Structure 1
Amino acid sequence: MTELGADAVGSGSTAATQVSDTSVPEPQDGREHREFVLITGMSGAGRSTAANVLEDRGWYVVDNIPPKMLADLVEIVSGGVRPQRLAAVVDVRSRDFTTELSNGIQELQANGFNPRTIFVDATDEALVRRFESVRRPHPLQGDGLLLDGIHKERRMLGDIRSGADVVIDTTGYNVHQLGVAVDELLNTDVSVRLRMAVLSFGFKYGIPLDADIVLDLRFLVNPYWQPELRPFTGRDEQVRDYVLGQRGLDAYLDAVTTMLNIAMDGYLSEGRRYVTVAIGCTGGKHRSVAVTEELVKRLEGRAGVALTTFHRDLGRE
């Protein structure tokens, strides 16, 4: 994998993730199994890093292709034999980017592909740090400030972001974490209709940009203020018991479980493929970790739903 640059994620904290097998199953009906993934998003948020992850896993990846050439790409790179797994990285090149990308996707669908769009994003502060670290200007900066270019690109990509299959917030990710996230998203088990990521985080480090549902656990007593519990995390028995034993939490978890099951019914009915539930406390080490682990246990067993547990800030100091 190439060295990290302005279009790669920075060195984030160590996090704990539970993932499933990411192998691509063989088609059951004898037809050729074909996949097409589009990677787009903010400059500096990790497009190239995500592309490197796919390439390392055997995908045929083409970087910086004009959206109107997406349909032609399938035939050009395959020489008549279509690749099973093809990915293209597209970014803002013109004022008509949104229209060109929409038309390109329609052509792909007409040719038998149903492309999935991954949008990588990060906070403005993270993007500024990444560009400054490599001393490169933003591609849309022109004669203005770095933030001017970032804000311009964010406005231009607004519709693409809202229509993406999944948004990955790479603000606190390192390369390994991004690779795990991409692996889990592209697990192509045809029996899985909805992938729900349940992640813990610390509010003091910011709410994840890719969160669809946010739960706030700061109403619970913080184990951090118990000297004997402070060195441990919500994955340790003594902290888990302390958190889960607090008054009212069991009723809260019952209500949240009911709410999420109702939401999953709606997501499955509407064809939603990816959902992120973010569970936060102050630092993302005790309360949110323990409750995330417990909530996933309560949600397991839904047909057609794959759950992933991710602890974003568990390794932070």
Structure 2
Amino acid sequence: MAGEGEGQFLIVTGMSGAGRTTVGNALEDLGWYVVDNLPPQMLRPLLDLTDLGGGALPKVAAVVDVRGRGLFDDLPDVARALRSRGSVQVLFLDASDDVLVRRFEAVRRPHPLQGDGTLLDGIRVERSRLTLVREAADIVIDTSTLNIHQLATKTSEIFSEEGAARHRLTLLSFGFKYGLPTDVDLVADMRFLPNPFWMDELRGLTGQDEQVREYVLSREGAQEFLDAYAKALVPVLEGYQRENKSHSTVAIGCTGGKHRSVATAEELARRLAQVPGVAVNVRHRDLGRE
């Protein structure tokens, strides 16, 4: 489904406990508009709303399952009718009975269809009701051997547009004298480099100016730091993608957040933009301060 363009409408369904919530969250991280626990009869109005939106909601996913009780039985007919209207697909999530039992026992919740029976009774009733839906599904994922991170990763692999970033990295320059940023994952300190502030011809410039950039990056230890730090961050960013961590922030600090941290953040962004699956954004928190 990756790269199919606008106007995608996905029905997410399947066995209770097979991972619908995880898939819904992963789709939201990919920019989909996700509606949870929608009765099948509401799929047509939702598709109408999507069409009327003029492209405002190009990717919509509706999670439909047996929590809709008797209303759920209409799903095969509704899905069949909607397929003629555009890019409507059905994703079915499945897992073996023993795995589903273990998952329900782990969260200590009853199966929505077990009634006065056992967990296994409810699972078997649900599986029987979903037979036609599974047979007609466009995509079936068996999650029996997948944990939540692996399922989220698999969802991203299937539904990401070709070349789309799976992780967004923010490089944030800042000045220590204005306080450490609190919402960051890693912090680097550039105060080991000489401060351009003490040079009259550079004081009024910033790390975005070529003169300051050349000065900072040519100081002893600057290139060694950049080489080592960029190399160290690559496996971190790759690991974030495997673990489905979609955002991270690396803070780069110097005294005032105007020269060394800015030049370093810009150069580090240039290098890390080459990491597959990573989109890099640069922010300069204290650049405009006096």
- TM-score with structure 2 setting the length: 0.50
Using the alignment, how far apart are the partners of 1:43 and 1:23 within structure 2?
26
Using the alignment, how far apart are the partners of 1:45 and 1:129 within structure 2?
11
- Structure 1 residues 188, 102: closer, same or farther in 2, change over 3 A? farther
**How far off its partner does 1:134 sit?**
1.2
Superimposed CA distance per residue, residues 77-126 of structure 1 (whole angstroms, 9 cap, x where no aligned partner): 6763341111000002344634x21332244334x323111111111111
Using the alignment, how far apart are the partners of 1:78 and 1:162 within structure 2?
28
Q: Could you tell me which residue of structure 2 aligns to residue 162 of structure 1?
A: 135
**How far off its partner does 1:181 sit?**
1.7
* SS class of match (2:61): strand
Using the alignment, how far apart are the partners of 2:125 and 2:8 within structure 1?
32
Code of the residue aligned with 2:58 in structure 1: it is Q
Q: Could you tell me which residue of structure 2 aligns to residue 71 of structure 1?
A: 44
Q: Indicate yes or no: 2:156 matched with 1:183.
A: yes
2:105 to 108, 132, 152: 132
Code of the residue aligned with 1:55 in structure 2: it is E
Q: Contact 1:68 / 1:103 at 8 angstroms: preserved in 2? A: no
Q: Could you tell me which residue of structure 1 aligns to residue 64 of structure 2?
A: 90
Two-structure CA RMSD over aligned residues (Å): 2.3
Using the alignment, how far apart are the partners of 1:80 and 1:58 within structure 2?
16
Q: Could you tell me which residue of structure 2 aligns to residue 60 of structure 1?
A: 33
Using the alignment, how far apart are the partners of 2:2 and 2:113 within structure 1?
38
Q: Could you tell me which residue of structure 2 aligns to residue 240 of structure 1?
A: none
- Structure 1 residues 80, 132: closer, same or farther in 2, change over 3 A? same
* SS class of match (2:87): coil
Superimposed CA distance per residue, residues 219-273 of structure 1 (whole angstroms, 9 cap, x where no aligned partner): xxxxxxxxxxxxxxxxxxxxxxxxxxxxxxxxxxxxxxxxxxxxxxxxxxxxxxx
Code of the residue aligned with 2:102 in structure 1: it is R
Q: Indicate yes or no: 2:87 matched with 1:114.
A: yes
Q: Could you tell me which residue of structure 1 aligns to residue 14 of structure 2?
A: 41
1:252-267 aligned at under 5 Å gives the runs: none
Using the alignment, how far apart are the partners of 2:124 and 2:62 within structure 1?
24
Code of the residue aligned with 1:97 in structure 2: it is F
* SS class of match (1:43): coil
- Structure 1 residues 25, 69: closer, same or farther in 2, change over 3 A? closer
Using the alignment, how far apart are the partners of 1:123 and 1:107 within structure 2?
30
* SS class of match (2:34): strand
Code of the residue aligned with 2:54 in structure 1: it is V
1:145-156 aligned at under 5 Å gives the runs: 145-156=118-129
Larger radius of gyration: 2
**How far off its partner does 1:129 sit?**
0.9
* SS class of match (1:115): strand
Q: Contact 2:2 / 2:160 at 8 angstroms: preserved in 1? A: yes
- Structure 1 residues 96, 58: closer, same or farther in 2, change over 3 A? closer
Number of aligned residue pairs: 160
- TM-score with structure 1 setting the length: 0.46
Superimposed CA distance per residue, residues 25-78 of structure 1 (whole angstroms, 9 cap, x where no aligned partner): 65xxxxxx2101111000001011111100111100000101111010134467
Superimposed CA distance per residue, residues 159-202 of structure 1 (whole angstroms, 9 cap, x where no aligned partner): 1111111211111212221122222322566xxxxxxxxxxxxx
Using the alignment, how far apart are the partners of 2:8 and 2:4 within structure 1?
12
Q: Which runs of 5+ in 1 are unaligned?
A: 1-21, 27-32, 190-317
Q: Contact 1:36 / 1:116 at 8 angstroms: preserved in 2? A: yes
Using the alignment, how far apart are the partners of 1:71 and 1:130 within structure 2?
32
Q: Could you tell me which residue of structure 2 aligns to residue 102 of structure 1?
A: 76
* Higher helix content, 1 or 2: 2
Q: Which runs of 5+ in 2 are unaligned?
A: 163-290
Using the alignment, how far apart are the partners of 1:165 and 1:78 within structure 2?
22
Using the alignment, how far apart are the partners of 1:102 and 1:124 within structure 2?
23
Q: Contact 2:40 / 2:71 at 8 angstroms: preserved in 1? A: no
